[in-house]
Amino acid sequence: MSQRVWLYVGTIAIGLWISATGAGGILADQAAEWPVNVWCWAVFGYIYAKTERKERIEMLTVVALATPMELFFSEVWLVYEYQRDFMPLFVPAGHYFLFDLGRRAASQMRESMAMPALLPFVPLVAYGAWTGGDTSGVVMLLLVLGFTKWGPQPRLYAAMAWAALAMELWGTFLGNWTWASDVPWTGLTAWNPPLLVGAFYCFGDVLVNLCVAKFEGEPPQEVVP
């Protein structure tokens, strides 16, 4: 794996642990997020300063889209709640790290494997719907399958479904955030985290791709690192 991949994995895994636990109790609760905030934005700024124009556009686009979406989901729709109520400042930068991590994973996948990579979700979604614990999984699975079938970056959507789930499992385990068991406004239920939480990330990735293509003056296409 590249140094960038290790940087992202370490930042997400260790950063969430520090934020959730105050580095195992070393930091006071009110200070626990600040080292992660500073580190994430320093990494984001370093990458931005060193990279080329197109990735800079991608980085700014991810932050510009992820920030209001996060605030809507957590403060208006209330589908999840953060540990300290409000979105941590490191979250928008973290969205870019996860996006680029998913993209790098996708580049190692054959395009013909994008849809088969999602098949393990099917029996789990069926179980969640049958037990009533995660009925939203059916809708979200259909969204991910739709993005993967007809979207401009099928490998990215398949990779993000798994990358997002891994990150969400770690974050919810640590208590960084908690998903509502009853999804407001819908009558649906969800696990904590929802199995196909990657649907939200896929939607964001579609918007990023369309925006970047608009800035670059070219049709939407599969983005590779």
Domain boundaries, the chain: 52-216
Distance CA(160)–CA(151), nearest Å, equals 13
> What local confidence, expressed as pLDDT, does residue 211 receive?
87
Helix pair 91-106, 3-25: axis angle to 10 deg: 140
Q: Is the pLDDT of residue 4 over 60?
A: yes
State which amino acid sits at residue 200.
Answer: F
- Over residues 65-91, the pLDDT tens digits come to 999 999 999 999 999 999 999 999 999
pTM: 0.94
- pLDDT 10s digits, 159-204: 999 999 999 999 999 999 999 999 999 999 999 999 999 999 999 9
- The band of 9, judged by pLDDT with boundaries at 50, 70 and 90, is very high
Bridge partner list, 182: 189
3-state secondary structure the chain: CCHHHHHHHHHHHHHHHHHHHHHHHCCCHHHCCHHHHHHHHHHHHHHHHHCCHHHHHHHHHHHHHHHHHHHHHHHHCCCEEECCECCCCCHHHHHHHHHHHHHHHHCCCCHHHCCHHHCCHHHHHHHHHHHCCCCHHHHHHHHHHHHHHHCCCHHHHHHHHHHHHHHHHHHHHHCCEEECCEECCCCEECCCCCCCCHHHHHHHHHHHHHHHHHHHCCCCCCCCC
How crowded is the C-beta side of 219, counted as CA atoms within 13 Å?
Answer: 4
Q: How far is it, in rounded angstroms, from Cα 127 to Cα 135?
A: 9
